[in-house]
Amino acid sequence: MELTTIWFVLIAVLWIGYFCLEGFDYGVGMLLPVLGRDETPSGDDDGGTGHTGETRRRQMLSAIGPFWDGNEVWLLTAGGAIFAAFPHWYATLFSGFYLPLLLILVGLILRGIGLEYRGKVDSATWRARMDTMVVVGSFVPALLWGVAFTNIVSGVPIDADMEYVGGFWNLLNPAALLGGLTTLTLFLTHGALFVALKTDGQLRHDARALALRLGLAAAALAVLWLGLLHLRTGTPLSWTVAGVAALSLVGGLVLAARGREGWGFTGTFVAIGLATASLFLALFPDVMPSSLDPAWSLTATNASSSQKTLGIMTVVALVFTPVMLLYTAWSYWTFRKRISGHHIPTEVHHAAVEPQPTAPTGR
């Protein structure tokens, strides 16, 4: 296999890891005002007393606390790999999609500030403002990544000099907006199932019920979106992978409806991963097709770095990729326990994310 192909596959794997892992982070952030609403349910698993909205929101934030910043490493690594392995792809992508990528960056900054500084001031108004930043900072990338990848796969106006010659509004075409709504609802479903998997009591039941409702919309949008993209550029292999992704999503929802949140979350995890893989399969050997003339498309060959650069990068990747995977697996295993409302202290800590409980609980 050529080095350009190897690095195309590695970059696809990095994006798959990013969407599978960061996707539930975005979902939890967007659902903060929905599942973290103020109410006192009765008859929950925490003794029938229920918990305040603030306790529910802190349960949700504690669930993603050990993971959200580590998950963003996948995005940084994917961007860095494109820059080093395919500099022409990086230049065309980041100059042509400058405004959407800037909005995503602003969203990630707002989200990070909201998560890190939420517990720094003991004020309901302050926490509400930080929650708004988390919601907005989760919503923007969840929507715009779908818009961006739809345009990348279906093609954008690129001239003979490998330069994007369209405008911002060219990117907001109906197919791209459908892609944005698809990733948005997929991440919402993924996040709701993560909350159901990681929490206990009434919040767990509310999250599972919401995930089932969101999942139906996500499945319908995903089938329409993937079908539209693969009709344009798909191959038999990409169609097969997209079909398995749709089945994984439906299977995960069925298992979640039976109270198996772990398998339900696995279903959305696999569905997002396979859907992303199908996009890269439909894209190859192009990395950014031109809608003006196929001869002007950026391919894995004409957009790549030198063989020497790719060779050095391959050696580095062989050393550090296993380390990254082992650390990710270790962190998820270490913080695998459910978080009950009783684990949330009543006083406000001077940290946005509470420590996880040490007492084992059932799953």
In-domain check, residue 339: no
**Domain extent for 186:** 3-36+53-332
Q: Is residue 357 part of a domain?
A: no
> Residues 290-303: what's their mean pLDDT?
92
Residue 119 pLDDT: 86
Query: Distance between CA atoms of 209 and 213, rounded to whole angstroms?
Result: 7
Q: Residue 293's CB: how many other CB atoms inside 10 A?
A: 11
Residue 328: CATH number of its domain: 1.20.1630
Give how far Cα 166 sits from Cα of 156, 171, 231, 290, 310, Å: 7, 8, 23, 11, 31
Q: Is residue 211 part of a domain?
A: yes
Provide the terminal-to-terminal Cα distance of the chain, rounded to the nearest Å. Answer: 43
Query: Quick one: DSSP state of residue 40?
Result: -
Confidence of residue 47 (pLDDT cuts 50, 70, 90): very low
CA distance 226 to 212: 21
Query: Could you report the per-residue pLDDT of 128-142, keeping only the tens digit for each?
Result: 999 999 999 999 999
Is residue 343's pLDDT more than 70? no
Phi, psi of 167 (to 5 degrees): -115, -175
Q: Rounded to 5 degrees, what are φ and ψ at 299?
A: -115, 170
pLDDT for the residue numbered 141: 96
pLDDT per residue as tens digits for the range 220-271: 999 999 999 998 888 999 999 999 999 999 999 999 999 899 999 999 999 9
65-103: per-residue pLDDT in tens? 889 888 889 999 999 999 999 999 999 999 999 999 999
Could you tell me if residue 96 is inside a domain? yes
| Cα-trace Rg, the chain | 21
Asked whether residue 363 carries a pLDDT value surpassing 80, the answer given is no
Q: Would 360 be classed as within a structural domain?
A: no
Q: Is the dihedral of CA 237, 278, 89, 316 positive or negative?
A: negative
% of the chain at pLDDT higher than 70: 91
Residues facing residue 339 across a β-bridge:
199
Look at the chain and report how many structural domains it folds into: 1
Q: For residue 214, tell me if it sits in a domain.
A: yes
Residue ranges of the alpha helices (H) in 234-361? 236-257, 261-283, 307-334
- Distance (Å, whole) CA 241 – CA 273: 10
**Residues 6+ away with beta carbon under 8 Å from 207:** 31, 35, 192, 193, 195, 196, 199
The token pair that represents 297 in the structure block: 């498309």
Question: Is position 309 within any domain?
Answer: yes
337 inside domain: no
Residue 132: how many other CB atoms lie within 10 Å: 14
CA 118, 121, 124, 126 torsion-angle sign: negative
